[in-house]
Amino acid sequence: MKIIVNGSSFETSATTLDALLIELGKAHAKVATAGNEAFVPASLRADCMLADGDRVEIVAPRQGG
Amino acid sequence: MPSFYGKDIASRLMLGTSQYPSPAILADAFERSRAGIATVSVRREAGGDSAGQDFWSLIEGLGVAVLPNTAGCHSVKEAVTTAHMARELFDTAWIKLEVIGHGDTLQPDPFALLEAARILTQDGFNVFPYCTEDLVLCERLLDAGCEVLMPWGAPIGTGLGLNNIYGLRSLRAHFPDVPMVIDAGLGLPSQAAHAMELGFDSVLLNTAVAKAGRPAVMAEAFAKAVEAGALAQEADPMEPRDMAAPSTPVLGMP
């Protein structure tokens, strides 16, 4: 299945957002997520099913003004 | 000292965490600024990159309150989603709400800002809206549930200082009890002192410190300026007058 992760095309076998984070080695990273422009809390990632063409955002703390 | 959403902060300075030459200089600048709040953001992390975790460890070590922003958002939806991600990531209900309306001036989109502020307040956020000094907009933001206002001094990153003294003075006078932070556009400590003299509660800086030749030295200069300005405001300054008035007694001249 091909999805978009942080703006780039990504081929994955993960069927949930939770599984995608494990595949990316970010299961325990300090990140927050959104699917198709809507926030997905950490507690709901396992229930968040991925479909072909979905857009996923994975963000981390960064410098800001 | 200011209080934001029930939290007392022992400093009138808020400092951004962006654009410093190195993490060590950032840490030095924070120490010498004695800032009580650090602004941060959320951004995409590339590949196996651990920059986010490293940065977070640095910020945690500063021992200051964290105010995440929605910088770079241009729509209500983007800002609301970013705010939710920030709340989970930083474990705080505080959000510095930025909804940019113009690419050249980076001025807020007042219509989208108000709508996003309304939504986020209903979602339980403590919204710090980055706004202009427009009195009507600020009144609407307060009606929407904001308990803090963050009017700009000048466009972000310009260092132009307080562009509309009349507007800021008027805003301060209309809402004397609302905590207000001058956010953006300051370049020099004298401008920060002026903001304090006008009765504002805090200033938020980033570029003025980070882009100074010696950021930590500038951070200390701002700390002193803010303290001096706040003391001056507390001291109830004299009224300016047009005509000269001798300060030395006239009576008893030989």
Which tokens sit at B101?
């309306």
Q: Is the pLDDT assigned to residue B36 strictly greater than 90?
A: yes
A41 to chain B, any CB pair closer than 8 A? The answer is yes
Q: Is B77 a catalytic residue?
A: no
Spacing of C-alpha B190 from chain mean position? 16
Determine which of B88, B98, B158, B181 to mutate to test the interface with A (most A C-beta atoms within 10 Å): B88
Kindly provide the ipTM of the predicted complex, given to two decimals. Answer: 0.94
Q: Is the pLDDT assigned to residue B228 strictly greater than 90?
A: yes
> Cβ separation of A62 and B48 shorter than 8 Å?
no
Report the gap between the CA of B235 and the closest CA in chain A (Å).
31
> Cβ separation of A59 and B42 shorter than 8 Å?
yes
pLDDT band at B250 (very low <50, low <70, confident <90, very high): confident
Instruction: Tell me which residue in B56, B68, B81 faces A34 most closely, judged by beta carbons.
Output: B81
pLDDT band at B115 (very low <50, low <70, confident <90, very high): very high
**B176-224, pLDDT tens digit by residue?**
999 999 999 999 999 999 999 999 999 999 999 999 999 999 999 999 9
pLDDT of residue B232: 97
Alpha-carbon distance of B59 to B35, in angstroms, equals 12
Q: Which of B156, B153, B165, B240 is nearest to B192 (CA)?
A: B153
| pTM score of the predicted model | 0.93
Alpha-carbon distance of B162 to B166, in angstroms, equals 10
B45 to chain A, any CB pair closer than 8 A? The answer is yes
A52 to chain B, any CB pair closer than 8 A? The answer is no
